[in-house]
């Protein structure tokens, strides 16, 4: 255990330490006495014993659960080939006994040993590189030897080893990985019987329920921690299917891929990530719910890959401003920004600007729910799609397609669009300088030939448009779900929205070929 890293940290710790010391002195000093009317000293009445802070149904111990499940949890070590180029590590010498390769303890004592030997850092950096090691956790789901862990633990590994709780070390084969959910399945062959962890229902878990995490933090081996379910449905921006459980059970580096149990000893989550400004546990850990993980893992185990349903649309969230612009009572659903003409949605009659509110009978309250329910739907099945179109409720039927594996393309999102060199007629509206598209403006802003609308040539400082991320070079394709060809078209549609009592007008913008809706306030006519 290390001490404070700065003088200010040390000083800030003193008041708390002093307060604790005073409380201890008070608790263990001589008995206090009160004076009665006659001056005789009598003992003060004893304080009643403190009631237990645990709820009545809380377990007095987690030992039974830990004893039964520790044998189902494994510790994973991987080796990756050394990089051919780039910085090279120093001479490592023989492995240090007692510390797993790649663990913080091994690194700390290796650096200490090297300093004692007086090896210069420059000399160390000139030596040949060595393979890198990583550590993680996992758990057995089948006595046949199938093991679950996180994709990020094993996806780049050249060699994978699995160590059982009794110390038995086995080589593991990678069966399949799924990057979008960060899950992987391994296979080991064991001569001894294996203990499998049973699955539980994460949907039955309530916020505040007890949970237990078992894993391999910092390469230390089997560690058991307990806490509660702090929250559900956390989106931590790791992928399109984010729906994490949050827990305050201590999760640290090396816990990745380990199980999160309910009190029945059933796996209801797979520990995956932590939020930490320090790199250690601060009581905010995230686990993939079993309701999402289990079907993915079953596909990986049986087929080595995951097949997902596909709708063929791009969607965005419905904000209160967007809902008001569309005449919706509540901001809910997934707003369709583009439709693939040959995709299931396009063939089924879904249009740009529709708001999908239910999919196959399941309510879509937030945009991020739609990709998950579509992905989990059987490929080839015909499902009803309820939506809001131009203020009216409609239902269409779509046949779910299959999402083809493809690499995600990063959005450029550049804010440094070039200023046009061509002189054009412009109009000021809603804090924007607008112009009809010309060949010169298309070249200046690199606008695709198939994009039609009104181009933004300048955005007013501190304007509502600037606050909403509109940039020079954006093309306004629609306003109020009507096509825009000229600045005068936009002015007319803004006036129409204002006459209908709308506070905002919904504009569809194109940037670098991508479409998104932006609600623009229209209370005043400045700019």
Joined together, the tokens standing for residue 172 give: 């593991």
Contact status, residue 136 vs residue 76, Cβ threshold 8 Å: yes
> Tokens 């959910």 correspond to what residue?
181
* Buried-exposed string 167-206: b where 16+ CB fall within 10 A, e elsewhere: eeebebebbbbbebbbbbbbbbeeeeebbbbebbebeebe
- In Å, how far are 345, 373, 384 from 358, measured between CA atoms? 14, 10, 8
User: What's the CA gap between 216 and 108, in Å, rounded?
Assistant: 18
Q: Sign of torsion, CA 441 442 446 451?
A: positive
The whole-angstrom distance between residue 375's C-alpha and the CA centroid of its chain comes to 17
Joined together, the tokens standing for residue 367 give: 């945009």
Contact status, residue 252 vs residue 290, Cβ threshold 8 Å: no
> Binding site for substrate: what residues are annotated?
152, 182, 254-256
Q: Which helix (H) or strand (E) holds 18?
A: helix 7-28
* Cβ contacts of 304 within 8 Å, gap of 6 or more: 175, 176
Q: Which of 379, 396, 239, 374 is nearest to 313 (CA)?
A: 374
Q: Which of 500, 516, 518, 418 is nearest to 464 (CA)?
A: 518
* Cβ contacts of 489 within 8 Å, gap of 6 or more: 454, 479, 482, 483
Residue 433 phi/psi, 5° resolution? -100, 120
Tell me which DSSP letter residue 199 carries: B
Contact status, residue 211 vs residue 223, Cβ threshold 8 Å: no
Joined together, the tokens standing for residue 166 give: 């009794």
Q: Which residues are catalytic?
A: 152, 182, 256
DSSP string, 299-340: HHHHHSS---EE--EEEEE--HHHHHHHT-SS--SEEEEEE-
Q: Which helix (H) or strand (E) holds 9?
A: helix 7-28
Radius of gyration of the chain (CA): 30
Residue 351 phi/psi, 5° resolution? -120, 160
């Amino acid at each position: 255990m290390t001490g404070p890293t700065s003088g200010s940290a040390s000083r800030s710790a003193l008041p708390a330490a002093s307060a604790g010391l005073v409380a201890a002195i008070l608790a263990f000093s001589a008995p206090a006495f009160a004076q009665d009317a006659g001056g005789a000293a009598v003992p003060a009445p004893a304080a009643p014993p403190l009631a237990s802070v645990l709820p009545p149904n809380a377990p007095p111990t987690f030992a039974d659960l830990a004893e039964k499940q520790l044998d189902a949890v494994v510790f994973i070590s991987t080796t990756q080939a050394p990089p051919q180029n780039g910085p090279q590590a120093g001479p490592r010498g023989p492995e240090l006994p007692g510390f797993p390769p790649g663990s913080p303890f091994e690194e700390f004592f290796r650096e200490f040993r090297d300093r004692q030997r007086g090896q210069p850092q420059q000399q160390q950096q000139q030596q040949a590189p060595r393979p890198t090691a990583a550590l993680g956790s996992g758990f057995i789901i089948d006595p046949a030897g199938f093991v679950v862990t996180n994709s990020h633990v094993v996806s780049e590994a050249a060699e994978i080893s699995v160590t059982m709780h009794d110390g038995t070390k086995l080589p593991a084969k990678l069966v399949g990985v799924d990057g979008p959910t960060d899950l992987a399945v391994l296979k080991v062959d064991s001569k001894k019987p294996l203990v499998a962890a049973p699955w539980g229902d994460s949907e039955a878990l309530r916020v505040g329920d007890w949970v237990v995490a078992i894993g391999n933090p910092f390469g230390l081996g089997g560690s058991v921690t307990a806490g509660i379910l702090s929250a559900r449905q956390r989106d931590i921006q790791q992928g399109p299917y984010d729906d994490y459980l949050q827990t305050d059970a201590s999760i640290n580096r090396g816990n990745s891929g380990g199980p999160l149990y309910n009190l029945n000893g059933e796996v209801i989550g797979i520990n995956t990530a932590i939020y930490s400004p320090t790199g250690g546990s601060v009581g905010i850990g995230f686990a993939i719910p079993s309701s999402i993980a289990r079907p993915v893992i079953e596909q990986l185990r049986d087929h080595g890959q995951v097949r997902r349903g596909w709708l063929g649309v791009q969607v965005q969230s419905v904000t209160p401003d967007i809902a008001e612009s569309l005449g919706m009572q509540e901001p809910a659903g997934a707003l369709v920004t583009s439709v693939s003409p040959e995709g299931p949605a396009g063939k089924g009659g879904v249009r740009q600007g529709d708001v999908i509110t239910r999919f196959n009978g399941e309510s879509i309250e937030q945009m991020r729910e739609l990709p998950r329910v579509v992905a989990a739907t059987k490929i080839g099945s015909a499902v009803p799609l309820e939506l809001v179109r131009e203020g009216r409720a409609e239902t269409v039927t779509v046949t779910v397609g299959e999402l083809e594996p493809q690499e995600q393309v990063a959005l450029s999102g550049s804010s440094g669009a070039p200023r046009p060199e061509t002189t054009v007629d412009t109009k000021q509206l809603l804090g924007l300088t607008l112009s009809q598209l010309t060949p010169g403006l298309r070249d200046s802003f690199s606008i695709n030939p198939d994009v039609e609308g009104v181009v933004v040539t300048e955005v007013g400082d501190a304007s509502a448009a600037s606050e909403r991320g509109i940039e020079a070079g954006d093309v306004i394709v629609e306003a109020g779900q009507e096509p825009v060809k000229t600045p005068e078209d936009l002015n007319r549609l803004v006036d129409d929205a204002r006459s209908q009592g709308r506070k905002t007008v919904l504009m569809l913008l194109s940037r670098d070929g991508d479409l998104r809706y932006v609600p623009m306030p229209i209370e005043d006519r400045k700019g």
